[in-house]
Amino acid sequence: MNDDDHVARIEGILPHRWDLDALRSGAAVCATLAVPFRIVAAIVDSDSGGLNALFFVLFVAFFVVGAGCAAWVQRTGTPLSHALVTAIGTYAFVEIVFVAIRLVRGTQIPWFSIFFTLSVISAAGVIGGFLGSRLQAQGFVPSSRR
């Protein structure tokens, strides 16, 4: 059986474009692991560039993990799409909440920073999608499918 047959068989079992369980799983990982670093960075609001960089790197790294999770557990044959939607969707939701808080508090909204981070998170989604796809290709399956 070639790769096309395998994908066609998976698409036949799950005819929907999006595996909502995979998206939820990836978003839960992002929200649980990455978002706390975003919150801590906002609370600490350090003048230390090193500390801010550490929080940012951890934030992005856990987005790679969350996007990779979504890519790995999806069952529709579209790991990159699931990883990107997970990373971008979760980040957008988190930033909408932070923008709303800033609007209520009357503080300045750093639009450039938000869109720059969105591009970094998109790259993290691509990396996570590649890693999740590689896990599937190597035969590693989530425990829920054993």
| 120 found inside a domain | yes
pLDDT more than 90, % of the chain: 64
pLDDT tier, 66 (very low <50, low <70, confident <90, very high otherwise):
very high
Question: How many structural domains compose the chain?
Answer: 1
- Looking at per-residue pLDDT, the higher value among 48 and 125 belongs to 125
* Residue 8 pLDDT class (50, 70, 90 cuts): very low
d(CA 51, CA 48): 5
Confidence grade of residue 144 (pLDDT, cut at 50, 70, 90): low
On average, the pLDDT of the chain sits at 86
Check whether 21 has a pLDDT greater than 70. yes
Is 19 part of a structural domain of the chain? no
Q: How confident is the model at residue 2 (pLDDT cuts 50, 70, 90)?
A: low
Instruction: Look at residue 38 and tell me if it is in a domain.
Output: yes
Residue 11 in any domain: the answer is no
Whether 94 is in a domain gets the answer yes
Residue 18 lies in a domain: no
Residue 60 in any domain: the answer is: yes
**Does residue 64 sit within a domain?**
yes
**pLDDT grade for 102, boundaries at 50, 70 and 90:** very high
Which domain range does residue 133 map to?
27-145
- Per-residue pLDDT band for 11 (boundaries 50, 70, 90) equals very low
Tell me which residue of 64, 65, 37, 66 sits closest to 52, measured CA to CA.
Answer: 37
From CA 76, how far away is CA 93, in angstroms rounded?
24
Report the distance separating Cα 120 and Cα 15, nearest Å.
32
**Average pLDDT for residues 58-87, to the nearest whole number?**
94
In whole angstroms, what is the distance from residue 102 CA to residue 124 CA? 26
With a cut of 80, say whether residue 29 has pLDDT above it. yes
